[in-house]
Chains A and B, each alone.
Chain A
Amino acid sequence: MLKKKIPLIDQHDKHGFWGGKFGGSYIPETLRKPIDDLTIKFEKLRKDKKFLAERDYYYNNWVHNGPTPFIKLNNLTYHLGGAQIYAKVVSAARGGAHKIYGAITAAMLCKRMGKRHLISDTGAGYNGKMFSIAAKHFGLKCTIFMGHKDYLRQKPNVDAMKKNGAEIVQVYTGSQTLVDAVSEVMRFWVANHEKVHLGVGSTVSANIFVKICGWSTAQISRELKKQIIDEFGKIPKKVKLLNCVGGGSSAYGMWSEFMDFDKRQVSFEGVEAGGPQNSKKHAAPLSNNSKIGVLHGAAQMVCQDKFGQISETESISAGLDYPGVSPLHCFLKETGRANYVSQTDEDALNAYKLIRKLENKINPSLEPSHAFARAISIAPKLSKDTVIIVNSCGDALKDKHIIKKRLGKY
């Protein structure tokens, strides 16, 4: 059961499980102490006024001058002729995606842990890019682990990381995507935890990493709540918050302040990556009812075979191309608070095309294009007093090569 008035990230039991079974800390013994140390430090700092003031300065001013925009997509709304469609343009954040929040927190924690070296994983390259930006600003060394396949397909972000002075370690094992990058960054941390601070790129992995990441991205929700009230004078009667879900960091970030609302008033829909239309592979464990398993230190719904081997996934969007999903989302699905669906590569591309044709204020990357695809498919059937808000959490610049190849132009 979901509790009211307690942030979802704190609704776990003493072993770190949400709903008694999602999450936990399935970690090698060597990591127990570094994780305990980090947990103690983080729990202390999140109550520390100075730390919070510094965070607020960065989140409110440095990430973007004021909140990231909240805009109505008039042409798309008119075109679809149903619900009103809005976008929370998180991609306007410094660096072009929500990952900047987690990166700033990680850099601040790194310094307060007395360390000078920041490491993280990346899929779409946005997390890596943001870590490289934050590390550069805070004067920290930065190493990013990235699957070889992603390294090739997200070149603009790779270039940005390099420009910011980050070292990129390409990972050649397994499917050479995010799942392998996360494994490898954890291995590196096992061997170098004394000097290195690990910031995980999404609300995945052992309990504390889920919490730190969710605590950071929740900024999106704090801003959005105010912006909705500014726009409508109150929270409207029918609001749908749509967000793509890979690991689930931006979705949690968008939804966290609205947890306590009745779902008939504010509903959540997570959109996972369904992969190519004619492929059996996907990256959508929640909407395909994958079994619960243990991956990267946490129990979660995960794409796996009947023997428990983690499946290879496939998606056009590197940021969603992950076999597992945050324990927070597993819990939200189980409690019925959020609903999860998937859209294919082709759906996302078509949505991108339509949005670029109709709207000039946003340029959503292929990850949020999955959420837009869902919005486009449901909006015509919904009443005009329904408000759909899509988190446009990443900018498409990183996808320019893929889009050019698939749609003929960027």
Chain B
Amino acid sequence: MTASLISQAFKKCKEEGRPALLTYTVAGDPTKKISLDILKSISKNIDIIESGMAFSTPIADGGDIQTSAHRAIKAGINLDETFKIVKKFKKIEYSKPVILMGYWNLILQFNENKFIKMCKKSGVSGLIIVDLPHPENKAFSKKCKKNGITFVQLLSPTTSKQRMKQIIKDSHNMIYYISQSSTTGGKLKVSPRKILEEYSKIKKLNNNKNVVIGFGITEKTINSLKKADGLVVGSAICKEITNSIKKRQNTVTNVTKIVKRLKNKIK
């Protein structure tokens, strides 16, 4: 089952004494072809791929990811095409886990069961659904587990301890800790020390879960958080795509470079 690829990726990183590096890019940004080329090119420097399912009304995303999502939609992305990109990528890099991230409405319209079937068919290992919180996500999360797909639960600094316990109990092999109260790409307004303190609280409740930290992580901040099981960089990469387009430079080359620099900081 593909969910186990996620566990294997974390295990390998632990053996190497470093956090897993997860990158978020929007499937189809800036075009279907280039977004696939980006994934292929950055693959060797990252451990888990997060691929965004572009949505028109992303309420939890800041400007950089909004721009990427709108660009991808304009370039013709939809869920069918997103699955095609994942499938093509997995054909070359079978062992690299891919997590799809997005908003519930797309899955609702696609049809839950058909969506899970397509995830299995194209080789998706996990899902992050930003606006389907616990406990409302219980039924869907169970369905994912039954089909060998990790449903990644989210925790944030505002999550109470009691709620945290419940969520961890219902979580699979990976949990996403949102570093601060902000949309994606917000400037880090909490000290890394404080973020790691919160992170430790989660680990204390269950040390077996792989906990990644995301939101506000850039080249500048990534090193100070490397104690975590995994770190997610998203907006910084989407911004790089936007900048490359503006400067008429090669997007794939520039994104590959920034990912390489990120990797070097946590080695």
Interface residues in chain A, defined as those with a beta carbon under 8 Å from any beta carbon in chain B: 15, 24-34, 173-174, 179, 183, 186-187, 190-194, 291-297, 304, 306-310
Contacts and interface: CB of A to CB of B under 8 A. Distances in A.
B109 interface: yes
Interface in B120-157: 130-134, 136, 154-157
Contacts of A309: 55-56, 73, 78, 106
Interface stretch (B158-166, B226-234, B253-261): B158-166
Contacts of B134: 29
A26 B56 contact: no
Contact of B78 (A187, A307, A310): A307
B79 interface: yes
B80 to A, nearest CB: 8
Most B CB contacts (10 A, CB to CB) among A32, A174, A296 go to A32
A310 B56 contact: yes
B108 A296 contact: no
Given A32-B158, A307-B106, A308-B109, A27 B57 contact: no
* Listed residue (A183, A187, A291) with the most chain B CB atoms within 10 angstroms of its CB: A187
Interface of B is mostly: loop
Given A27-B133, A28-B156, A191-B181, 7 more contacts: A26-B133, A28-B60, A29-B159, A30-B60, A173-B70, A294-B105, A307-B79
B186 A191 contact: yes
A281 B212 CA distance: 43
Interface residues of B, number: 40
B57 A310 contact: yes
B182 interface: yes
Contacts of B136: 15, 24-26
Contact of B57 (A28, A183, A292): A183
Contact of A29 (B109, B155, B183): B155
Contact of A293 (B108, B133, B181): B108
A28 B105 contact: no
A297 B160 contact: no
Nearest to A174: B56
Given A28-B133, A29-B155, A308 B181 contact: no
15 contacts: A25-B133, A26-B136, A27-B131, A28-B59, A30-B182, A183-B58, A183-B59, A190-B182, A191-B181, A191-B182, A192-B181, A291-B109, A307-B106, A308-B107, A309-B56
B160 A296 contact: no
A306 B59 contact: no
Nearest to B60: A28
B108 A294 contact: yes
B89 interface: no
A193 B183 CA distance: 12
Contacts of A308: 55, 105-110
Contact of B130 (A28, A191, A193): A28
B57 A190 contact: no
B66 interface: yes
Nearest to A33: B158
Q: Which of A34, A186, A190, A294 has the most CB atoms of chain B within a 10 A radius of its CB?
A: A190
Interface centre among B107, B159, B160, B183 (most CB of A within 10 A): B183
B62 interface: yes
Interface string B154-195: 111111100100000000000000100111001000000000
B158 A296 contact: no
Interface string B214-232: 0000000000000000000
Contacts of B73: 309
Nearest to B176: A29
Given A173-B70, A309-B73, A32 B159 contact: yes
